[in-house]
Amino acid sequence: MAPVQSRVDSHERGEERAAKILEAAHEEAKKKSRYDPTVTREKICKEFRDRFNSHEPYDWQLNVAEALHLGLDCSVVAGTGAGKTMPFVMPLFAEPTKHVLIISPLNALEEDQARRFNEMGLSAVAVNGETYSSTLHKDLLSQKYRVVLTSPEMCLKDDWFRQILSDPKYSSHLAAVIVDEAHCISQWGDKFREEYSKLGTLRALVPSRVPFLVT
């Protein structure tokens, strides 16, 4: 029982620390721009209810979404089916002119998530070696899609896509960069897919200060 209790205690301490960081971000935003967390959270909740048959988001989903909205880096550890995908796009409910970049390990996962986000009413596209074209390049530059799903290799090795990510106009509308299935960084980042171990360099590539979420 001791190891289990230790994990529970560690989780609770993590939640307490996260709550304090979010509260500090509230206070900082209030000083700078008269930020009202109640208004922002209700805006996100209303959009969530409208899209998902009046269902309410979980508190932790809302906390992650607001943290990203405030520019905080986040990490989420959640089991399969817990709903960890939703905070990827919930910041968009508060910022209708912005988009998110989701980095996934597999083309099939990109395609599946793009389909699901499109069904939610969020324009989404998978960007990989099989889908990339001059037309898609132009669509991305014009910010046609609110959700862009891609791979570490596209972000770090494709010159055309890197050009988009480093464009100040594009990055100024980027609400968050999400690294999905982040365990792949340690599992694959050594020799199998070395780009996973280099994802930290994205911070330098994107000119604007963009929050990162790892799950």
pLDDT, tens only, 65-116? 999 999 999 999 877 778 889 999 999 999 999 999 999 988 999 999 999 9
In the chain, how many domains are there?
2
- Is the residue at 91 inside a domain? no
The reported pLDDT for the residue numbered 187 is 59
- Is the residue at 41 inside a domain? yes
User: Residue 26: enclosing H or E segment and its boundaries?
Assistant: helix 2-33
Please indicate, yes or no, whether residues 5 and 62 belong to a single structural domain of this protein: yes
The reported pLDDT for the residue numbered 215 is 87
Please indicate, yes or no, whether residues 106 and 65 belong to a single structural domain of this protein: no
- Is the residue at 174 inside a domain? yes
Please indicate, yes or no, whether residues 210 and 104 belong to a single structural domain of this protein: yes
- Is the residue at 209 inside a domain? yes
- Is the residue at 192 inside a domain? yes
The reported pLDDT for the residue numbered 81 is 77
The reported pLDDT for the residue numbered 77 is 84
The reported pLDDT for the residue numbered 181 is 75
The reported pLDDT for the residue numbered 155 is 94
- Is the residue at 14 inside a domain? yes
Report, as ranges of residue numbers, the positions in the chain whose pLDDT lies below 50: 1
Please indicate, yes or no, whether residues 103 and 201 belong to a single structural domain of this protein: yes
- Is the residue at 79 inside a domain? no
Please indicate, yes or no, whether residues 67 and 102 belong to a single structural domain of this protein: no
The reported pLDDT for the residue numbered 184 is 64
Q: Domain ends where: 72, 89, 108?
A: 72
**Domain with 191 in it: what CATH number?**
3.40.50.300
Residue 212 contacts by C-beta under 8 Å, 6 or more apart in sequence? 73, 74, 176, 177, 178, 179, 202, 203
The reported pLDDT for the residue numbered 56 is 96
Please indicate, yes or no, whether residues 29 and 132 belong to a single structural domain of this protein: no
Please indicate, yes or no, whether residues 117 and 201 belong to a single structural domain of this protein: yes
Please indicate, yes or no, whether residues 103 and 203 belong to a single structural domain of this protein: yes
Please indicate, yes or no, whether residues 41 and 125 belong to a single structural domain of this protein: no
The reported pLDDT for the residue numbered 9 is 65
Please indicate, yes or no, whether residues 105 and 188 belong to a single structural domain of this protein: yes
Can you give the residue range of the structural domain that contains 2?
1-72
Query: Do β-strands 124-126 and 147-150 pair in parallel, antiparallel, or remain unpaired?
Result: parallel
The reported pLDDT for the residue numbered 14 is 80
Please indicate, yes or no, whether residues 206 and 158 belong to a single structural domain of this protein: yes
Give strand pairing partners of 177.
101, 212
| Angle at 108 (CA atoms; ends 139, 123), nearest 5 degrees | 35
Please indicate, yes or no, whether residues 198 and 130 belong to a single structural domain of this protein: yes
- Is the residue at 173 inside a domain? yes
Q: Domain ends where: 31, 57, 72?
A: 72
